[in-house]
Amino acid sequence: MQSAAEQQKVTPLRWTRPSQAVPEPPAQWHRVLTLLADVSLFIGTRAIWTQAASHRLVVAAAISLCYASILVCGVLALVVRRARSLARLDLCVLVTAIALTLCGWAMDHGGSDEAILTTQAARELVAGHAVYGRPWPWLFGHGVALTPTVTGGYDFTYGYPPLVPLLTAPLLWLRHGALPATVVSTAALLAGTVALWRMLPTPWRSAATMACLGFGFLPSYGRLGYPAIVALALLMPVVVRWPRIGRGGRLGAGGPARAACLGAACAAQQLPWFLAPFLLAGIYAVRRGELGPRAAGLVVARFAGATALVWLLVNTYFVVSEPGTWVRGIALPLTQGAVIHGQGLVGVSLYFTDGSDRLDWYAHASMLLAAGLLALFVLFVRRLGPAATVLPWCAFFPATRSQDGYYLMMTPLWLAAAVTAPAAEFATAWQPRPRMLSRRPARIAAAALLLTPALASAAWAATGTPPLAMRVASVGRAAPTAVARLGIEVTNAGAVALAPHFTLTTGQGMSRYWTVVRGPVVLPARATARYELRPPAGRFTLPRPGVRVRLRAFTAVPQTLSSADVRLRSSG
């Protein structure tokens, strides 16, 4: 008989591996963000491929590989199991976006009027000539956009700070045209994107790819050679975690570097001038809540001083060599008197009414709104602090030049602040609270009071009446569908004499001015005169039936716009 112990079955021993920690899966929102960044690369890619497939086969092949990368990344974004793998996939999406941006630049690097002016400014700088205040009319025409002014002419001068021409000068060997400026702006966009991608927390990095290189609009501005793209790239390191600048009363190693980037950005284009006051006010408020007024003031003074020093160093040569024209040149966008244009409030006077005799008040409204928003930001920084990178651009909506580029070219800064400067950073920020603002109704009234001047100025501009009444009196034709001369009868219904300049438009924006062949230069108040106009190219081809044709008249002193719909039918 076997004992009970002997009857028990002996289970053989097996070696087992020690339990391993299961890799942490990525968050679902991270997957979705990576996928959205990947999808955004499709936008505009087909047009570039179609352009390349006919004569640039290497570029077309590269774009086809990018298509394959987009598809593979789309699959992997939904199936990878580890957060580290998804982070590597974010890098793959970024590399694909950079490749597509370079392909787009390879196919289209002719630049815009701003790129052409920047390249010419670099040439003049290398030759030892003055950069500012010198008109270069031969650069324009042949499809290059003009900036018409209310004086009846065009602005042919360089009107931006000098950093971008300085960066463009070493690249003038590439070729004639705007290519050197487009290289600088596109390279700056790519460098800024990589910097922002690296500085953001890992799960948010694909958002940088999407905001900077996806959708296609910022790469297109880079290919056009806009100096604002260089300013954007320099602002990205400044905006990331900007409320932490000066924490503990010390700028540290990163503080002077950020100040240098802000100073360089202000030396590249004027848009950072509007952002800088909000950042400085926000830094002071956050640091004062932490350190008190004196220490906060010292932090802001050191940061602002470093910013101003870098800005001055970039401008030193021009301050010494051409001080007067340099000042007028960098202030040109504010003083040039360009005709109203854009998608903002000026559309009321441009498209929905027949004009206004108070166009100057659009500019007043813009400046008043900028000042009012800055005051609101200071008063309510705990609430408005996260919006510091968005508020400055609101001031351009009522401006005389309110085109959408002023908003969308800086949108990556919105993302950087949203991710790295949340409301918690401003929880203890200092807010001025005089006794009169101790109650909530008083604070609401103060906010309304700060915005009222801007709103009133904008309303005053938009409700103005056109000072000139115009009607077509005769049409001289060069062909059944082309006009060679146009006779118009103009009545000045205003109380001041006006010097009108005329143009015909068939869509958004402004066409070139028509030449006044006969008629008074200055039309007295309450007077009527007849003008004979000639098209700038000698003939004006009539658009297809149904297209709105508007006769417009601009005056400079005061700035006014008068418009009238005209019907010019084919005689055939």
pLDDT tens readout for residues 328-361: 999 998 888 899 999 999 999 999 999 999 999 9
Question: How deeply is 267 buried, as exposed, middle or buried, from its count of CB atoms within 10 A (0-12, 13-18, 19+)?
Answer: buried
Give me the pLDDT at residue 41, please. Answer: 96
Checking if the pLDDT of 159 tops 60, the result is yes
H runs (alpha helix) in 240-359: 254-266, 271-291, 293-321, 323-330, 332-335, 347
d(C-alpha 107, C-alpha 559), whole Å? 41
Q: Which of 158-167, 231-240, 256-265, 430-439 has the lowest mean pLDDT?
A: 430-439
pLDDT tens readout for residues 318-336: 999 999 999 999 999 888 8
d(C-alpha 129, C-alpha 136), whole Å? 13
Amino acid at 193: T
What is the chain's mean pLDDT, rounded?
92
d(C-alpha 73, C-alpha 92), whole Å? 8
pLDDT tens readout for residues 172-213: 998 778 999 999 999 999 999 999 999 999 999 999 999 999
d(C-alpha 34, C-alpha 80), whole Å? 12
Give me the pLDDT at residue 24, please. Answer: 72
For range 367-389, the mean pLDDT: 96
pLDDT tens readout for residues 89-129: 999 999 999 999 999 999 998 889 999 999 999 999 999 99
H or E element, residue 528: strand 528-534
Confidence band, pLDDT 50/70/90 cuts, at residue 403: confident
Number of helices (H) and strands (E), helices first, in the chain? 23, 11
Give me the pLDDT at residue 335, please. Answer: 87
Q: Considering Cα of 432, then 437, then 440, then 442, what sign does the dihedral take?
A: negative
pLDDT tens readout for residues 419-469: 999 999 999 999 998 888 878 888 899 999 999 999 999 999 999 999 999
H or E element, residue 477: strand 468-479
Which residues, in sequence order, are CB contacts of 338 under 8 Å at separation 6+? 147, 148, 149, 150, 155, 400, 401
d(C-alpha 338, C-alpha 346), whole Å? 13
Q: Considering Cα of 148, then 151, then 154, then 158, what sign does the dihedral take?
A: negative
DSSP per-residue string spanning 492-504: E-SSS-B--EEEE
Checking if the pLDDT of 572 tops 50, the result is yes
Confidence band, pLDDT 50/70/90 cuts, at residue 23: low
Q: What's the predicted TM-score (pTM) here? A: 0.91
Tokens coding 393 = 């651009």
Checking if the pLDDT of 9 tops 70, the result is no
